[in-house]
Amino acid sequence: MLRRVLEEFGLFLIPFALFLAYLLLVGRNPLRRTHWDAHLWRLVLAGLAVVIGTLVYEGLFSERRAGGYVPTHMENGQLVPGGFR
């Protein structure tokens, strides 16, 4: 679960990283707050759009399994690994 949250947070940060690269390319100091203030809401909305778009894409096009998940269990004294069946 933590991996999934970190992946989505990384996707959220993509617009911020691109804007940082833009500031560096045009020769502005990316550490000055004045360059970020006017664009902050747009960057947040763009980050949310990337995250929501990724979640929708994965929901629509991810691999589907016909069976359900069977957890790890004991059969006749033997540990049977879980999996999709």
Residues 26-63: tens digit of each pLDDT: 999 888 998 899 999 999 999 999 999 999 999 999 88
Q: What percent of the chain has pLDDT over 70?
A: 100
| Confidence at residue 8, expressed as pLDDT on a 0 to 100 scale | 94
| Confidence at residue 40, expressed as pLDDT on a 0 to 100 scale | 94
Nearest CA to 67 out of 51, 83, 53, 54 is that of: 83
Q: What percent of the chain has pLDDT over 90?
A: 68
65 to 16, 26, 69, 84: CA distances (angstroms): 36, 49, 9, 8
Entry pTM: 0.72
